Structure 1
């Protein structure tokens, strides 16, 4: 006799209410998501199936779910906390959060989880939202204290408090460019913030490019961030007058954080900015107390391959509402230009980053002046 699959208990009215309230803001998946307790799941789950397990699944089960492209959430009680392991095609994340109930996967939890997945949030972000959802509320979560802590891949243990990086003011127009030659063109135009995103595996070329960019901003009103090459930036700053060196900070992507010596960057006095693309990444980075967070990509962009689809203004507003009380300096990034700049700034961030709006402009000084004019007067 073939075993019949049975859905996990879910609060249907709550799930529907979440979709009705936020479907227009975030968009709704055409195909419904389904949740199953592992013992009651279909023999052949699919990409829109979430399997829930109380405890730790065995290696065979983990491999079977992964091969099917499905999502597995294992939840275990540790003291007064739930430890959630989310395994999906986008990777493995482990979170801890205060336990509101004695049920690891209550009907309300399942309802919000499924609704968040249907609203196009990846599984690790959907888990964060389901845990942070206020019982009995219809409001989108924005209380940072209710959100989980990241245990894997954590940058600092949840029980540890990291010293903050030097703070940033509102960074204003933030122009990201590929070469020091561009920095030399922008610094005389009083661009508030510039980033050198120089791609090279040649250490000598990197050092030379950083030195040239730093000299261009030294004594100017432009703040220079160096993307990725943190050690070369630290070395140059130490050898050339510290705060007077022309280098203001480092910018790192998520993939760079594990290899960077964060303590060395902090000790150098350099500011640290980090790119984030959703709830789990923001929570992961908030633990190290960076100088600013870049939130995006808001709109479609062709300047780099993005790990996620464009976030859209709805997600951007939600991210700013959650993170601004925790990390005041926020930067909107990804596809920002003169046509949408006011919409981005209206959310309340003090900075927005552009690339092509400057680098592909026919008249660079005019483009810069127009973009700066879109920011509220100080």
Structure 2
């Protein structure tokens, strides 16, 4: 790497147009992002620098770049596809995208690609999502990409082979309605009689006996009732209880976060007939999960939330609309999550989703039945 650095060629007009068109929608980073070919990168790139490698970088180069917080994108060509390895402070993703046969420029990082990549980074998308947007961008267009077929496939950390996808999980109706996420079986027992359409037990404990008892109690409360019960995280306990009850357990499905997917026995969940819902926080995660055919996707966090530590900043309504436009044709059941309450629920539903998850809007309500009635009424407007 040379000392002063020579920037990658960029379509400046396209970059400026994207910032102008979408800055208000997604927010805009005032610090300039810069892209450099690996051979011409500065000696000490930092957190607003992207280094583009045509092929694999050496271990020493990777260590040097990542130590300074820079983004490294290594690109290889396999037949008609680009294979991009994105290394950033948020981890490593390997993504596999179609290479346009009719593209005027067959280089791995042409000026238009660099423009969209840097614009997406400036619009606060993390590096792996910015890469997804840049690869999905249609040459000659300025509309935000919504064609799922143009988006990359996830090679790492893949949940299934993109060339041999598994059977999808049992489907959910697209209108899961008001979705109350609560910390105990006691809350499930309070909400099921109020006919809350969907409820989730998010019981946090390392006590195996306590978890088993809480799941059994929540399942008993939901059995034979119209409320759909999802069990968060404790997938093995939910499967065991469901099997012990002969498949008539009161449990409708299991909800997993991104961090749980690699450890869960997805085949066992699929075979049980239980539904699977998954939390996602951006393009790469949505693409990763879409490969296994989940029953629903939860998209967020839309608004600031204090109920859990989030891996990303609040997405905002602009990103939420973009995610729904991309994913709804692929996974019809979508749930808006994160900071949703009575003041913003209608805004979430107006995007076109059939469900929104609430926590404090129920658990901190002074009058729970009144709160449920008020929130449920918003779905009917």
1:230 counterpart = 2:235: yes
Alignment correspondent of 1:297: 301
Question: Do 2:231 and 2:254's aligned partners in 1 also have CA atoms closer than 8 Å?
Answer: yes
CA–CA distance in structure 1, aligned partners of residues 312 and 180 of structure 2: 22
Map of 1:259 onto structure 2? 263
CA separation in 1, counterparts of 2:81 and 2:139? 17
Q: Distance in 1 between matches of 2:331 and 2:166?
A: 14
Aligned to 1:13: 13
> What is the match of residue 332 of structure 2?
328
Q: CA deviation at 1:202?
A: 1.6
Q: Distance in 1 between matches of 2:215 and 2:17?
A: 52
Alignment of 1:1-378 (within 5 A): 3-100=3-100, 101=103, 102-169=106-173, 170-242=175-247, 244-376=248-380
CA contact (8 A) 2:94 2:154 kept: yes
How far the C-alpha of 1:61 sits from its partner, in A, is 0.2
The secondary structure found in structure 1 opposite 2:94 is strand
Per-residue CA deviation, residues 91-120 of structure 1 (Å, 9 max, x unaligned), is 000000111242100100000000000000
Per-residue deviation, 1:241 = 3.2
Tell me how many residue pairs correspond in the alignment: 375
Give the secondary structure class of the aligned counterpart of 1:250: strand
Q: Distance in 2 between matches of 1:317 and 1:360?
A: 28
Partner SS for 2:379: coil
Cα pair 2:4 2:43 within 8 Å, conserved? no
Cα distance in 2 for residues equivalent to 1:203 and 1:337: 32
Extract unaligned runs of 5+ from structure 1. none
Once the two structures are TM-superposed, the CA of residue 3 in structure 1 deviates from its matched residue by 4.2
User: 1:229-284 deviations in whole A, cap 9, x for unaligned?
Assistant: 11110111111131x31000000000000000000000000000000000000000
Q: Compute the TM-score of the two structures, normalised by the length of structure 1.
A: 0.98
**CA-based RMSD:** 0.8
- Partner SS state of residue 264, structure 1: helix
2: distance between equivalents of 1:376 and 1:77? 50
Aligned mates of 1:191, 1:232 — CA distance in 2: 24
TM-score (norm 2): 0.97
1:27-71 CA-partner distances (Å, limit 9, x unpaired): 100101000001111101010000000000000000000111100
- Residue by residue over 1:285-328, the C-alpha shift from the partner in whole angstroms, topping out at 9 and shown as x without a partner, is 00000000000000000000000000000000000000000000
Deviation above 3 Å: which 4+ runs of structure 1?
A: none
